[in-house]
Amino acid sequence: MNIDEKQANFNTTNFLFFLYKWRKQLIIICLIAAVVSGGMSFLITPKYKSTVVLFPTSTNSISKALLADNFGGKQDIMEFGEEAQTEQLLQILNSNEIRGRAIKKFNLMQHYDIETDSKYKMTRMYDEYNNNITYRRTEYMAVEITVLDKDPQMAADIANYISDQLDSVKNKMQKERAFKAFKIVEVEYKKLINDIKMMEDSLTVLRKLGINDYETQAEAYNVQLAIALSKNNKEAVKAIEDRLKLLGDYGSAYVSLRDELELEKKQLSAIKAKYEEAKVDAQEELPAKFVVDRAYKAERKSSPVRWVIVLVSALSAFLLSVLTLIIIENFSKKKFSTINNTTMKE
């Protein structure tokens, strides 16, 4: 261990002597690199950053959140969403729909100086878009929309526009499904209403014939028939027997229609609730996000950071110069050693 430590100290000392020996050259090289990189940084177009921070909502279905009392998963519409909702928003933000709307709205093809007749214009367009417009999930499960642009007002406008379009795109996706569901329920609901009306019309016809309550009427007619027979009232017996015959002919149809109508009305009550819920989902909208911070026009540029460019360039030049000088010294020593060995042999 002592030998290793001495060797390490020796190597460190040699390296420090090496740096001291070449100090002037290294300082000059680092200064040149710093000056050149500082000058080159002025050729880089400055960009300004604008950011929108938002939270997703926890609810998707308006009807389930507001109307359905028996929905077990009913949630507060004011509640923030969790990880799943955040990931959904990020996926929507990265969709072609959002990207296409932003490109068209702000004419980004021209703004990014992309030639419209270029063979790979869309590839270049998407590369520029992805380099300047990014989305990420924060540690608090919020979504952050960041836009970099040479025009500070443009950066803020793009960020706010994308945030606004988030509701439109998500609602559009959901409404396509909700509208189809509404149409399915609407067909069944109207069919059931029509069936009930037909049954009620049939019952109305039977009531006009004198059948209003089969069980009560049958019991009353039988009592009256017994009384008429006991009194030997033939006219009354004949009239009651006619009534009983009418009940016998149409009574079963009346009972069947009445019972079926009662069941259909119960079913109508249930399907009407679904109809109203589906109608709300298909026609109404709720925001899909809570906006915490809207983007504003930046007062200072975000990039390039010139001191970072200068520092990185100077360090890179220093390391490269040290490596080059080490190689040169080692090569010189090896060449000198080879010449000495050759001389001694001679």
Q: What is the mean pLDDT of the chain?
A: 79
Given phi > 0 = left and psi -120 to 50 = alpha, else beta, which region is 315? alpha
Top pLDDT among 10 and 89 is at: 89
Confidence of residue 330 (pLDDT cuts 50, 70, 90): confident
φ and ψ of 246, to 5 deg: -65, -40
Confidence of residue 262 (pLDDT cuts 50, 70, 90): confident
Confidence of residue 129 (pLDDT cuts 50, 70, 90): very high
Report in angstroms the alpha-carbon separations of 134 from 99, 113, 129, 137, 279: 11, 20, 8, 11, 36
Task: Retrieve residue 331's tokens.
Answer: 């090569």
Is the N-terminal amide bond of 46 cis, ω within 30° of 0? no
3-class secondary-structure state, position 49: strand
Q: What is the pLDDT of residue 161?
A: 95
How far, in Å, CA of 249 to CA of 204, rounded? Answer: 16
pLDDT per position as a tens digit, 174-232: 888 888 888 888 898 999 999 889 888 888 887 777 777 767 777 777 777 677 777 77
Residue 144: its H or E element: strand 143-149
Q: Which of 187, 191, 163 is nearest to 102 (CA)?
A: 163
Q: What is the pTM (predicted TM-score) of this model?
A: 0.63
Top pLDDT among 15 and 47 is at: 47
pLDDT per position as a tens digit, 25-62: 778 888 887 777 666 655 566 788 999 999 988 766 66
Q: Cβ distance 282 to 181 under 8 Å?
A: yes
How far, in Å, CA of 42 to CA of 32, rounded? Answer: 16
Q: How far apart are the first and last CA of the chain?
A: 42
3-class secondary-structure state, position 201: helix
How far, in Å, CA of 132 to CA of 146, rounded? Answer: 8
Burial class of residue 46 (count of CB atoms within 10 Å of its CB; 0-12, 13-18, 19+): middle
Q: Cβ distance 82 to 141 under 8 Å?
A: yes
Q: Which residues, 6+ apart, have CB-to-CB distance to 215 below 8 Å?
A: none
What is the pLDDT averaged over residues 101-111? 92
